[in-house]
Structure 1
């Protein structure tokens, strides 16, 4: 049964000045998730296995737009904007991934879902890993796409070799107090465009309209502050992850999805020390933004992972 804390009224959208994009067969709602409103997009088969999708920087739920319709004929599909992302509220609270994981899990629970498969990319994968540590009994399986996890697989030092430094240089930049805001305010489009063009195998993966949309989400109502907060709270995320792993390792099935030209060469290998039931695939002809670059391959891999697990 759906929780009464859910509303589909656009008037309850905490970011009303940001255009709301529709996806055929899916509906928008906002959920009271422990005191903040998170935006979710829901569709597919209500009685099918639930699949929850989380995106990363600098994207929103729209990152899954090419994958969601391919899952909808078999699964109950829910894409959630993380706090500070897209049409979700931008709280002045902590953005460490254990705190954010509690908001995400509360959202799924409010939507009437008791157990689910969790699929996440980039910073979304940071949150997903912490969520799995906190709520593993509620998960059927976890798929993580091209992400270094704070305290787990994310290096403590930023490489200085030019051949690899361009992939992670922004981690240190985002940690600097005030300077990113000073340099990026009013130039969100240029900044977001750099990531979306340079970190894809094909620079034409994202058109101008998509770049504008993601940039507008970061520019709107505290979005830049919230985006940076995930990086600024990464040390706390790492501390909580390490503490949790002292008591338990993950036993839930985990799928590590890497790509031929991504940031993490082998996601499965990087996760296996902390998640024994881990398998992996590498998606060819893709950079960092795998769901945008190779949505068919991602959808097939997820469907196979879920079907085998069920």
Structure 2
């Protein structure tokens, strides 16, 4: 059965948006990363749909949304602007809760660190995607203090992103091998059953190639010239202990930048929304409930 679909317009970008779940529940927006689409959350949604109104969308460059041609169009500021456009269109009268994974988590970090974020975002659960500015600041501190082990560990885990910086170089391998064998590759990478990774989006080959612009537009910009980015939005940091792409050590300093931070370990690899969907959903639901209770309590006491 087709899900209710919307188109949210943000300047020249048209975003494909899916709405489902409990129309009377708190609004929870699910944000995917590379090389996924809104379908990343197919295994998570059934665990949340009875309680929450769920919004998920294809990021620019993926799935049925607009695919910009220029690298600069994939900068985090533009991605966060897309997210705020979805928030304003789908929940104009109440703050929303966020759940982001991979680059979806990275762009959510960009959004929650904006000055007015707390008025529009009630909570954020981050999975396998750091704030790149926080990561850059942490790497600088560790190297300045002559403690390079943590940055080296993350650098080795992210070595593949160096190839992603070179226009055209990874494209054939992504289109003709990785796109065809993605479940098997992810299964081996995460040491999990490949069957949980599919079904793949029919646009996966294009999404892989177009999504490389995310790396080119943002990695060097934020790691080499990090900004001080703070937030008062309550953040739940789900740290996948077996994540080979985003190492837990990189979140060492996150408490410095987030006033209300909750760390939760999860014995999972990078693609936990696929392999550990029930646990990701349960952690998110619990955090949203706790945040909703806290907000209601502050309202009753005039806080």
> For this structure pair, what is the TM-score category when the shorter chain's length is used for normalisation?
0.7 to 0.9
Counterpart-to-counterpart distance in 2, 1:166 and 1:192: 22
- Determine if the alignment matches structure 1 residue 107 to structure 2 residue 93: no
- Give TM-score scaled by structure 1 length: 0.78
Q: Counterpart in 1 of 2:237?
A: 256
Q: Counterpart in 1 of 2:158?
A: 168
> Using a 3 Å threshold, how does the CA distance of structure 1 residues 277 and 67 change in structure 2: closer, same or farther?
same
- Determine if the alignment matches structure 1 residue 278 to structure 2 residue 257: no
Work out the number of aligned pairs and report it.
277
> Any conservation in 1 of the 2:255–2:261 contact (CA below 8 Å)?
yes
> Any conservation in 2 of the 1:118–1:143 contact (CA below 8 Å)?
yes
Query: CA offsets per residue over residues 184-230 of structure 1, 9 Å max, x none?
Result: 343342564465223323143436x52xx24x42324xx34421000
Q: Where do residues 1-310 of structure 1 align in structure 2 (5 Å cutoff)?
A: 26-93=3-70, 94-114=73-93, 115-134=95-114, 135-136=116-117, 137-153=119-135, 167-190=157-180, 192-193=182-183, 195-206=185-196, 210=199, 213-214=200-201, 216-220=202-206, 223-235=207-219, 238=222, 242-243=226-227, 245=229, 249-262=230-243, 263-265=246-248, 269-284=252-267, 286-310=268-292
Structure 2: gaps spanning 5 or more residues: 293-303
Structure 1: gaps spanning 5 or more residues: 1-21
Counterpart-to-counterpart distance in 2, 1:73 and 1:306: 14
Counterpart-to-counterpart distance in 2, 1:80 and 1:241: 30
Whose helix proportion is higher, 1 or 2? 2
> Using a 3 Å threshold, how does the CA distance of structure 1 residues 306 and 240 change in structure 2: closer, same or farther?
farther
Counterpart-to-counterpart distance in 2, 1:266 and 1:292: 23
Report how far residue 173 of structure 1 moved: 0.9
Counterpart-to-counterpart distance in 2, 1:182 and 1:229: 15
Report how far residue 81 of structure 1 moved: 1.1
Q: CA RMSD in A?
A: 3.1
